[in-house]
Chain A
Amino acid sequence: MSRPLKLDQVDVKYDREEILRQITLQFESPRIYGLLGRDGMGKTTILELLASFQKPSRGKVLYGEEPLFENASLMPLIYFVYWEDYHDDYQTGEKKIREAAAYRPYFDMDYAFHLADRMNLQLSRSVKKYSRGKAAALQLLLGLASRAPVTLIDEVFPNMDAPAREFFYAELLNEQNKHPRLFILSSHLISESEHLFDDVIILHHKEIILNTPYHHLVSQGVLLTGPAVEVEAFTQDYPTAGEKLSAGTMTVEVYGTITDDFIKKAEEKGLQVQSLSLQKIFTQLTREEDKYGEK
C-alpha cells in the first residue's frame, strides 16, 4: 500500500513538440500532493503518465520498483479523476457507481451512496442530464469511493460551486484521515485548496521548478507592511516583489530564508509580518515578462 510512485528521467514529446523534459519525481504515500503550474505546462500530462493513460517518450514510470504502463496487476490500484463530458452518456449515476465498483478492488459502495446523498446527486437520473457541477461531483465521488491506493485528480472541482467544493475538501481530508493513501491534485484554485497539501510541486516550462513540503515552502517568504521608507530600508538586501504603496504605507513580498531573527528585527522596526500564501509564491515563481517587458 505504501510503495512510492516514481517518474524517472521522463520526457514526453508529441510529434516534435516537447511537453515534458527530464522529469524525475517521487510520490510517497500517504500524502496529498498539490501539482501546480500555469496552463499548458504539462500537469495533465504528468497525471496521464501516472495513470497509464500514456507512455513516456523516454524514461520510466514505476510503482514500487515495477514498471506501471500496461501492468495488469498495478493499473487497477490507480484511479484517475479527470473531467469527463457526459453529454452523450445515457448511463444513470447509480450505474456509474456500480460499474466503478465492479472494476476497483477497494471500492466502497456504501460510502459512494452516502456521498451521493450528501452531494444531492439524483442517482436514478441519466448523467447526461447532470449539470457540470453535479457531473464533477459524481466524478470526484467515484475517485474518493474507489479507495484506490493512488488517486489522481485533475482540475475537476472548479466545475462545482463553492459550497460543493468546500464539502469536497473537507471530505478529502476526512478520507485521508480514515483511509490514508496517496492523492495528487492538480488545481488552479490554489488559495482555497492549499490547506490540503502536504507537498507542493510546481511545474513550469516543461520542468519541475519546485518540489517541497508545503510548510517549508510558505516559510520561504513573508509579507511585510509598514512605512514605505522603513520597508525599503529593511528589505534592500532581499529579493522582493508585488510592492503596493498607499498613503505612505508599503506592502511587499519578501523572498528568501526567513529566520526568527529577521522577523524579530522587522517587528522591532514596527513592521507587520504576515505569512505568504502559496498563491503569491506560485505567482511569483511562474510570472513571466509580457511582450512589453513587464512582469
Chain B
Amino acid sequence: MGRNRAIKNMFREQLKWASWLLLILLFLRAGHYLLYFLLPDAELMLSPFVEASHQPAKIYMLITGILTVFIFLELFVRHGQTRRLFVTGSAAVSFFISGLLAAVVYIMTGIGYFLLSLFDLQTVLTASFPFEGEAARITGFFVFALTIWFYYITGLLIAGAFYRFGGAIGAVFVVCGAALLFAENYLWASDTFLTGFQPLNLPAGIILILVTGTAFIMLIAAFFILKDIRIKTK
C-alpha cells in the first residue's frame, strides 16, 4: 500500500511542478510572439519552442533533483518507506517526467509550427524545426528527454552528497556536477561558444550513449550515498 502511494505521491508532485514549468514557458512564448508582432521593426527572430525550452527544462530538472532529496527522502523514511525505494522510485518518476516533458514540448512545437504555417509565418522562426527529417526528430526527442534526465540525476547526486556529508564535501560534488554538466553541453556543442572550445562533432548516438551512461553511473553513486543515509531530526 505505502510503496505505491509513495511513488504516486512523488509522481503527482513532480507532474504538478512540470506543469508549472510548461505554463511559464508558454506564457513567455506568448510574450515573445506579442513582441514580434508589436515591434515589427525590431527584426526579432524566435527559436523553435523545443530549442527555447531545452535550457529552462534542464535547469528545472536540476532543481527538481535537488528538491526531491530535501522534500521526499525524509517523507519516505518518516512514513516507513525505504531509501532504496526513494532512489529507484525517484529515478523512474523523473525518467517518465523527462519523457513526458519532451513529448509535450515536441507536440507544442509541432502545433506552433502548424499554426504559423497556416498564416505563412514560418519565417518568424530561426529554424523551421529542429533536427530536420523523421529520424533526426526522433533522435532530437531522445536528446531532449535524456539530457534533462541527466540534469535531474546530477541534482539528486549533489543534494544527496550535501545531505549526507555537509558543506565541504557537498561543495566538491557541486564542482564535479558542474563539470559534468559543462561536459554534457560541450558534447552537444551548445553553450560553449563563450569558452572558445571547439565541439567534438561526435555522432548524436554516441553522445546519447555517453550521456545516458554517465547518468546511470551518477545514479549508482547517488544510490550508494543515499542507501544508508541518516535522516536528520534535529
Interface size on B, residues (CB 8 A): 21
A55 to B231, CA, bound (A): 10
CB of B80 within 8 A of CB of A48, answer: no
Counting contact residues on chain A (CB < 8 A from B), the size range is 20 to 34
CB of A76 within 8 A of CB of B233, answer: no
Q: Identify which of A53, A77, A103 contacts B81 (C-beta below 8 A).
A: A103
CB of A75 within 8 A of CB of B81, answer: yes
Q: Identify which of B1, B5, B230 contacts A53 (C-beta below 8 A).
A: B230
Chain A residues with Cβ under 8 A from B3's Cβ? 72
Chain A residues with Cβ under 8 A from B228's Cβ? 55, 69-70
Q: Identify which of B80, B83, B234 contacts A103 (C-beta below 8 A).
A: B80
CB of A100 within 8 A of CB of B79, answer: yes
**Contact of A82 with B233 at beta-carbon distance under 8 Å, contacts A103-B5, A103-B6, A104-B2 already known:** yes
Chain B residues with Cβ under 8 A from A104's Cβ? 2, 79-80
A27 to B9, CA, bound (A): 34
A100 to B5, CA, bound (A): 11
CB of B79 within 8 A of CB of A54, answer: no
A44 on interface, CB distance cutoff 8 Å: yes
Q: Identify which of A54, A79, A83, A103 contacts B231 (C-beta below 8 A).
A: A54
CB of A48 within 8 A of CB of B230, answer: yes
CB of A102 within 8 A of CB of B77, answer: no
Chain A residues with Cβ under 8 A from B2's Cβ? 76, 102-105
A183 to B5, CA, bound (A): 26
A154 on interface, CB distance cutoff 8 Å: yes
B82 on interface, CB distance cutoff 8 Å: yes
A33 on interface, CB distance cutoff 8 Å: no
Chain B residues with Cβ under 8 A from A54's Cβ? 230-231
Chain A residues with Cβ under 8 A from B234's Cβ? 44, 83
CB of A77 within 8 A of CB of B80, answer: yes
A70 to B83, CA, bound (A): 7
For A79, the closest partner residue in chain B by CB is B80
A141 to B73, CA, bound (A): 22
What does the 1/0 interface line of B210-234 toward A look like (CB < 8 Å)? 0000000000000000011011011
A52 on interface, CB distance cutoff 8 Å: yes
Interface hits, A75-119 → B, CB 8 Å: 75-80, 82-83, 99-100, 102-105
12 sample A-B contacts, Cβ–Cβ < 8 Å, listed by A number: A53-B230, A70-B84, A70-B228, A71-B82, A76-B80, A80-B78, A99-B9, A100-B79, A103-B1, A103-B79, A104-B79, A105-B1
12 additional A-B pairs beyond A72-B82, A105-B1, beta carbons within 8 Å, are A48-B233, A53-B231, A53-B233, A70-B82, A70-B227, A72-B3, A75-B81, A82-B233, A103-B79, A103-B81, A104-B2, A154-B233
9 tightest A-B contacts by CB? A76-B80, A103-B79, A54-B230, A75-B80, A53-B231, A103-B2, A82-B233, A102-B5, A55-B228
